[in-house]
């Protein structure tokens, strides 16, 4: 699967599940919208990723890495609160983000091999 598709799936997942988490929360913390914000950025840069723009692809992978790291604490918090739906939501976001990271890394390795040949 192309890295642009994986990144697009990740962006949509972050937006949808981030909004669901925000709406589902009684206190509606603004921090719950962080995945939505990063998902929107990934959505905006997706055309550049699709067009194989190296700078935009590196920006997208950096944002993806930040999201992955940033989702660890919310996962621990939902586990501590024993919030089953929250655990599922954050776990899905972590999974799609990790999938996007792997796709980006494979894409970078493939591009490097093509340039060396």
Chain segment 75-96, per-residue pLDDT in tens: 999 999 999 999 999 999 999 9
Owning domain of residue 36: 3-111
Let me know if residue 25 belongs to a domain: yes
Q: 116 in a domain, yes or no?
A: no
pLDDT in tens, the chain (117 residues): 899 999 999 999 999 999 999 998 888 889 889 999 999 999 999 999 999 999 999 999 999 999 999 999 999 999 999 999 999 999 999 999 999 999 999 999 998 888 886
DSSP state of 27: S
Residue 10 belongs to a domain: yes
Q: Considering the domain boundaries, does residue 117 fall inside one?
A: no
The percentage of residues in the chain with a pLDDT greater than 70, rounded to a whole number, is: 99
**Is 72 a member of any domain?**
yes
pTM of the model: 0.92
Is residue 70 one of the residues assigned to a domain?
A: yes
Q: Is 58 a domain residue?
A: yes
- Looking at the 3D structure of the chain, how many domains does it have? 1
| Per-residue pLDDT at 27 | 85
The residues near 59 (Cβ < 8 Å, ≥ 6 apart) are 45
CA 95 to chain centre: 9
Task: Look at residue 60 and tell me if it is in a domain.
Answer: yes
In 3D space, the residue among 99, 38, 94 whose CA is nearest the CA of residue 63 turns out to be 38
């Amino acid at each position: 699967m192309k890295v642009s598709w994986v990144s697009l799936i990740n962006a949509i997942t972050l937006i949808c599940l981030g909004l669901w988490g925000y709406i589902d929360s009684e206190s509606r913390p603004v921090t719950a919208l962080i995945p939505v914000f990063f998902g929107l950025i990934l959505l905006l840069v997706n055309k550049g990723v699709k067009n194989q723009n190296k700078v935009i692809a590196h920006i997208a992978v950096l944002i993806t890495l930040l999201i992955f790291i940033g989702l660890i604490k919310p996962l621990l918090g939902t586990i501590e609160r024993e919030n089953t739906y929250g655990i599922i939501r954050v776990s899905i976001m972590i999974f799609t983000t990790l999938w996007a990271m792997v796709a980006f890394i494979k894409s970078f390795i493939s591009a490097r091999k093509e340039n060396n040949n």
